Amino acid sequence: MNSKTIRPVILCGGSGTRLWPKSRRMLPKQLLSLTGEQTMLQQTLERVRCFDDPIIVCNEHHRFMVAQQAREVGFDRVTLIIEPLGRNTAPAIAFAANAVARENQDANLLVLPADHLLEDVDQFHRAIDLGLEQSSNGGLVTFGIVPTSAETGYGYIEKTGGGGPGPQAIARFVEKPDIETARKYLDGGNHYWNAGMFLFAASTLLRELAQHAPEIARGSALAMRNAVIESDFIKLQKSDLAAIPEDSIDYAVMEKTGLGYVVPLDCGWSDVGSWSSLWEALDKDREGNAVLGDVIMEDCKNSLVFGEDHLVAAIGVEDLVIVDTKDATLVAPKARAQEVKAIVGKIKTAGREEHKVHREVVRPWGKYDAIGSGPRFQVKRITVNPGASLSLQMHHHRAEHWVVVSGTAVVERDGEEILLSENESVYIPIGAKHRLSNPGILPIELIEVQSGSYLGEDDIVRFDDDYGRD
């Protein structure tokens, strides 16, 4: 296999609501570390290290986190395609295909979700080898997971018949079946789980898209022509994306084309689509318990318990999911873990923020943790990365006190420059233009005390920003 003939395209735009409260809109599961030290995106990048430089299609809000996580594992030449508005997988893949086709129409795109687990990476690479010839000769290849159980939570791919490990013509795609139908699929041996992984030439995909979904083909090409292109990112325009129909690659192309092939893949795959599926993927103790974080258990069986930043204790529970974060806790029977989406819906309806952001919020310059609040005050712990700066800004309704806990900060306040070291502080009055920067090689830790009549994050007027935010 010539690894340079394959350009990985990683789809990183999902919201992961079924893993709430750990996964939220502004920090979804693909950007979390759930099964090891690396995030799911980083694990996906590791699988494609042997191929050409990857393209990552991501949400505008996640751009800086995605770039940082890629750099952390040594991917400095990643191209980000930034979507201000999600339009599902067909447009996302079309954007990447248009970008690659400008350089090499015959390059093969290896399309992968950013949030899946694969235990046997060698087997995954062997499957890619098997599909590459078909892809290079005009086929649209998908990888079908060899089913291990009668699963009703996945769509299925039916092959036309015959055996062997190589590409087999696709007979049809099947929606999520009932349990009896799923058992027939498992016994028959002609059906695979649809994992949403693909291999095809950029030119083939664009040609089939133009035939079967012309509006998406035209709209995606126009969006790429109008995009803001820099050395490491391609930023699409929201108005262009709003005009593109929202559709999956399965519906738009794969179910209509006559060029579809499936390569069987048996590699210990999981889409980690719920807390129960994460429990299945994790190592467990002798009683069947999977534990993440600081947890003590007594007489518990077959449960998943997650503690984020303080001790979680459980006694006598069985088949439960317990997930505790800084600002929300989930307790549910493992068999009903899929229903967490209903809770997320109620949180949205109530106008609450816990579906969207964590108490600890990641920013391009670092992060902050809202550690306490009350009438007319709020306290945050702020971390500023080395070499990073907050925007030059002001507030109409709040004043701020900054106390440096560790590191050295440069503070700009109404044109005055102030150098702050450990245990030193500064006061920022209402209406003062201000900015904090970290000139050092270590992170700055500081405590911010806000006081005023309104403390919302939207009370920010930015005058200058290193990260291009409004």
Mean pLDDT (whole number) for 258-285: 94
- Euclidean distance between CA atoms 193 and 173, whole angstroms: 10
Residue 258 C-beta-side C-alpha neighbours within 13 Å: 1
- Euclidean distance between CA atoms 217 and 202, whole angstroms: 12
Amino acid at position 318, single letter: E
Amino acid at position 439, single letter: P
CB atoms within 10 A of CB 186: 15
CA-closest candidate to residue 106, choices 5, 211, 8, 199: 5
Name the pLDDT band for 334 (thresholds 50, 70, 90): very high
Higher pLDDT, 369 or 16: 369
pLDDT at residue number 1? 52
Tokens of 15: 């919201």
DSSP string for residues in 33-96? -SSSSS-HHHHHHHHTTTSSPPEEEEEGGGHHHHHHHHHHTT--SPEEEEESS---HHHHHHHH
CA-closest candidate to residue 371, choices 447, 293, 455: 447
User: What is the percent of the chain where pLDDT is above 90?
Assistant: 90
CA-closest candidate to residue 457, choices 391, 402, 408: 391
Dihedrals φ, ψ of 69, to 5°? -65, -35
Higher pLDDT, 230 or 303: 303
Name the pLDDT band for 271 (thresholds 50, 70, 90): very high
pLDDT at residue number 2? 53
Q: What domains are defined for the chain?
A: 3-270 (3.90.550.10), 275-346 (no CATH), 360-464 (2.60.120.10)
pLDDT per position as a tens digit, 419-463: 999 999 999 999 999 999 999 999 999 999 999 999 988 999 999
pLDDT per position as a tens digit, 174-199: 999 999 999 999 999 899 999 999 99
pLDDT at residue number 3? 56
Q: Where are the beta strands (DSSP E) in 96-236?
A: 108-113, 117-118, 140-145, 156-159, 168-174, 191-201, 228-229, 233-235
